[in-house]
């Protein structure tokens, strides 16, 4: 039952974080710039009551701690992560890059921008400045991040592999 509830909550979080990612975007070519790195925003009228009730149910049945880990370049994902952590009474962990992303780094029109270069190289692993996280006390972990070029930012690969 715990796994089912966790799957339902993870699905709800994934839908909330990818609400803007549902439309198909063309792949970048040498003649067209890649889609902008964006953070999916929750829909204007999110069914918050159902998310909160499902979260409360999961909290009641969960044994152990709940963690909400997130990366947010512009703050949108941070807001969703804070709401989720509050709803499930979980701990919040921000994945902070060693080198913060500037507006120029996130400029998807510039093929030489940092985010474009990172997304074009699946082997890039940006450094994480956040303190090392001990996961031993957690039985449920929610992970939130923006969608860049239809994928996770490379810093999320660093986090998961660490």
Report the number of distinct structural domains present in the chain: 1
- Give the CATH number of the domain where residue 58 resides: 3.40.50.360
Render pLDDT for 122-146 as a digit per residue (tens, 0 to 9): 999 999 999 989 999 999 999 999 9
**Upper half-sphere CA count for residue 30 (Cβ side, 13 Å):** 0
Distance CA 98, CA 129 (A): 4
Asked if pLDDT for residue 69 goes beyond 90, the answer is yes
User: Is the pLDDT confidence value at 77 over 80?
Assistant: yes
Host domain of residue 28:
2-161
> Which residue reads 């996130």 in tokens?
106
pLDDT digits (tens, 9 = 90+) for 90-104: 999 999 999 999 999
């Amino acid at each position: 039952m715990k796994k089912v509830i966790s799957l339902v909550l993870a699905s709800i979080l994934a839908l909330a974080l990818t609400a803007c990612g549902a439309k198909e975007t063309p792949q970048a070519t040498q003649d067209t710039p890649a889609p902008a790195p964006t953070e999916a925003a929750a829909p204007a009228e999110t069914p918050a009551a159902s998310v909160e009730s499902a979260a409360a149910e999961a909290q009641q049945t969960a044994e152990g701690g709940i963690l909400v880990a997130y990366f947010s370049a512009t703050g949108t994902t941070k807001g969703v992560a804070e709401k989720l952590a509050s709803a499930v009474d979980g701990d919040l962990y921000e994945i902070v890059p060693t080198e913060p992303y500037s507006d120029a780094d996130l400029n998807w029109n510039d093929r030489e921008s940092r985010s474009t270069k990172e997304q074009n190289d699946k082997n890039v692993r940006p450094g994480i400045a956040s303190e090392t996280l001990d996961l031993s006390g957690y039985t449920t972990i929610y992970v939130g991040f923006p969608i860049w070029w239809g994928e996770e930012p490379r810093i999320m690969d660093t986090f998961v592999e660490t």
